């Protein structure tokens, strides 16, 4: 992957030059050496990450900053700030959220580990005095941090594996049984990667790759290669999570990356390493595709120069061709998601989500909701999803109910509503509303049909909410107008076309029997920046909406 190496080298230089602007160099500033992020937050982790990129260039003889005195000065100052911010316990703060944080400390020193191993194992006793100084400083930070991480504490599922993998790695470095035992306490909970390859947080845009990294580290630190199976399984699953525009599908994430535009750059090292160790050609092809995406989107290449230095054989591994991203129809039952690709478009259905359907043709993205108000419910969120011939069936039963007066044996001592244990009241149940949705692909492979049926309750004003991003024009038999985002239109009949300069979606037939589009006051808001089209009707209704992609028709 010599071409990749050269691109990554140049982009690392660009990344370092950009970050130099953000480093505090004033010797009278108590935070000298820190790197300010875009919000001008002083945070040790951010500084460690920026300093690490500098180390890669300082130690790389192909870099124009190789053994630069100016760069060495900045590295020393970066570490000076990092050491100043490290508590006596060894822990770091993540100042916008977590303080004395074991997981954030683990993330910080995980960034340093490839540099530590490169200088220890690859350069070895050939280290210069300056490189040895860098190595010893990292060693001091890492060992102190490891003792702090042993005090533990986490908030989210992935934190467990960051802590466990880092402690296992440090246990091996420092031959420390206490660190090993502490890591095993976390690992005793069992790895939360299901048969589909999905981790608990379903975070394709960020935490899947964080978990993969932890699994790879655990395999290396313990000698138990089975940990890599989780990473390989997830990376195979992720082959079905790329959208036609090269972005990652993130709509089912339970974390901050949900619906964020994200590209797969940070998966590069995992695809490369697992492709090498497990001989998976598709993984090498994904590495080629990731670099291609970076080039076509004008993104900086992955910040992984140190891996080419740590694994110098990567430069001699060559694999031609991009990942072909063939058509697929996969149903991940345990994850509650069906992902499909046909030619130019993908479509996705999910249980448990109000935006249960996504359709993406590479330049226009459509999200669909079935929304309204029934008791405490404000939108359809499927309880179940099952495969059917040619598609999926989603179902939810919404249960109606009312509180009843306290029975004589339950009357509380207080008359304060907020202190009453109202969950313990008797209830009158009913009626129930059933919502069923069937999503099937057209026989011509140019789109999908979405049948929506409501039953059990009649006369409730509900709506089909279609949110479009990327469309710049809307037209039907009655109107034609430019779109800039945030429009809200109810279309009452016929088909409607949403288009841009690249493609067109044709959707319909429309229906509009009421104007209750916003729903009750606590309904979900419209998607910010999206143009929203409503079809409205009273329950129970049974409508089939066709979605056709014009460029798929020729």
pLDDT tens by residue, 452-473: 999 999 999 999 999 999 999 9
Tokens in use for 537? 């009707």
Q: Residue 522 — pLDDT band, cuts 50, 70, 90?
A: confident
Q: Is residue 504 part of a domain?
A: yes
Q: Residue 200 — pLDDT band, cuts 50, 70, 90?
A: very high
CA 259 from chain center: how many Å? Answer: 8
Is omega for the bond preceding 31 within 30 degrees of 0, making it cis? Answer: no
The domain boundary residue, chosen from 85, 111, 144: 85
DSSP string spanning 260-304?
Answer: ----GGGGHHHHHHHHHHHT-HHHHHHHHHHHHHHHHHTPPPPS-
* pLDDT at residue 144, rounded to an integer: 99
Q: Is residue 218 part of a domain?
A: no
Q: Residue 152 — pLDDT band, cuts 50, 70, 90?
A: confident
Q: What DSSP character marks residue 351?
A: S
The domain boundary residue, chosen from 69, 85, 101: 85
Q: Is residue 45 part of a domain?
A: yes
Find the farthest-apart pair of alpha carbons in the chain and give their distance in angstroms, rounded: 84
The domain boundary residue, chosen from 54, 85, 116: 85
Number of Cβ within 10 Å of residue 529's Cβ equals 10
pLDDT tens by residue, 290-346: 999 999 999 999 999 999 999 999 999 999 999 999 999 999 999 999 999 999 999
Please name the residues in contact with 158: beta carbons below 8 A apart, sequence gap of 6 or more. Answer: 199, 201, 203, 207, 210, 211, 214
Domain count, the chain: 2
pLDDT tens by residue, 214-243: 999 999 999 999 999 999 999 999 999 999
Across the chain, mean pLDDT equals 97
Kindly state the average pLDDT of the residues 476-487: 95
Q: Is the predicted pLDDT of residue 511 greater than 90, yes or no?
A: yes
Q: Is the predicted pLDDT of residue 33 greater than 90, yes or no?
A: yes
With a pLDDT cut of 70, the percent of the chain lying above it is 100
Q: Is residue 190 part of a domain?
A: no
* pLDDT at residue 518, rounded to an integer: 85
Q: Is residue 542 part of a domain?
A: yes
Kindly state the average pLDDT of the residues 346-375: 97
CATH code, domain with 506: 2.70.98
Q: pTM (2 decimals)? A: 0.94
Provide the residue range defining the domain that includes 27. Answer: 1-85
CA separation for the pair 460, 369 (Å, rounded): 16
Q: Is residue 2 part of a domain?
A: yes
Q: Is the predicted pLDDT of residue 527 greater than 90, yes or no?
A: no
Q: What DSSP character marks residue 193?
A: B
Q: Is the predicted pLDDT of residue 525 greater than 90, yes or no?
A: no
Q: Is residue 471 part of a domain?
A: yes
Q: Is residue 233 part of a domain?
A: no
């Amino acid at each position: 992957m010599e071409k990749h190496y050269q691109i990554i080298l140049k982009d690392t230089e660009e990344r370092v030059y950009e970050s130099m602007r953000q480093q505090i160099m004033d010797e009278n500033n108590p935070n000298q050496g820190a790197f300010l992020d875009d919000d001008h937050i002083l945070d040790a982790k951010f500084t460690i990450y920026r300093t690490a990129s500098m180390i890669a260039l300082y130690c790389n003889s192909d870099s124009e900053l190789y053994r630069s005195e100016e760069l060495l000065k900045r590295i020393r100052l970066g570490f000076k700030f990092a050491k100043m911010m490290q508590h006596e316990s060894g822990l770091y703060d993540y100042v916008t959220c977590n303080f004395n944080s074991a997981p954030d400390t683990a993330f910080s020193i995980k960034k340093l580990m490839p540099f530590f191993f490169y200088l220890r194992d690859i350069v070895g006793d050939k280290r210069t005095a300056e490189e040895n100084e860098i190595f010893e400083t990292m060693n001091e930070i890492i060992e102190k941090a490891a003792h702090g991480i042993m005090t533990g504490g986490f908030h989210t599922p992935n934190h467990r594996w960051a802590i466990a993998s880092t402690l296992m790695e440090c246990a091996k470095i420092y031959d420390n049984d206490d660190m090993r035992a502490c890591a095993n306490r976390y690992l005793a909970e069992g790895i939360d990667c299901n048969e589909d390859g999905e981790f608990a947080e379903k975070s394709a845009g960020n935490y899947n790759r964080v978990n993969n990294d932890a699994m790879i580290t655990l395999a290396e630190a313990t000698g138990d290669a089975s940990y890599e199976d989780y990473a390989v399984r997830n990376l195979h699953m992720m082959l079905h999570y790329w959208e036609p525009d090269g972005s990652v599908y993130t709509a089912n994430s339970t974390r901050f990356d949900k619906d964020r535009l994200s590209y797969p750059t940070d998966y590069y090292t995992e695809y490369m390493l697992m492709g090498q160790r497990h001989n998976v050609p598709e993984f090498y092809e994904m590495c080629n595709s990731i670099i291609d995406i970076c080039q076509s989107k004008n993104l900086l290449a992955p910040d992984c120069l140190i891996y080419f230095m740590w694994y110098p054989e990567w430069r001699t591994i060559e694999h031609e061709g991009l990942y072909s991203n063939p058509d697929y129809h996969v149903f991940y039952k345990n994850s509650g998601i069906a992902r499909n690709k046909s030619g130019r478009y993908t479509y996705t259905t999910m249980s448990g989500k109000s935006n249960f359907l996504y359709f993406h043709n590479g330049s226009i993205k459509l999200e669909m909701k079935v929304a309204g108000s029934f008791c405490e419910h404000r939108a359809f969120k499927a309880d179940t999803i099952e495969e059917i011939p040619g598609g999926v069936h989603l179902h939810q039963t919404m249960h109606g109910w009312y509180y009843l007066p306290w029975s004589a044996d339950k009357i509380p001592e207080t008359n304060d509503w907020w202190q009453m244990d109202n969950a313990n009241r008797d209830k009158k149940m009913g009626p129930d509303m059933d919502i069923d949705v069937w999503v099937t692909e057209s026989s011509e492979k140019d789109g999908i049909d979405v049948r929506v049926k409501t039953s059990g309750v009649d006369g409730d004003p509900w709506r089909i909410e279609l949110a479009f991003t990327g469309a710049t024009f809307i037209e039907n038999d009655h109107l034609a107008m430019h779109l800039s985002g945030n429009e809200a239109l109810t279309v009452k009949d016929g088909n409607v076309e949403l288009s841009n300069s690249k493609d067109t979606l044709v959707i319909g037939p429309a229906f509009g029997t009421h104007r209750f589009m916003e729903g009750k006051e606590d309904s979900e808001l419209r998607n910010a920046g999206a143009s929203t089209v409503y079809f409205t009707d009273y329950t129970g209704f049974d409508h089939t909406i066709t979605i056709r992609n014009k460029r798929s028709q020729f």
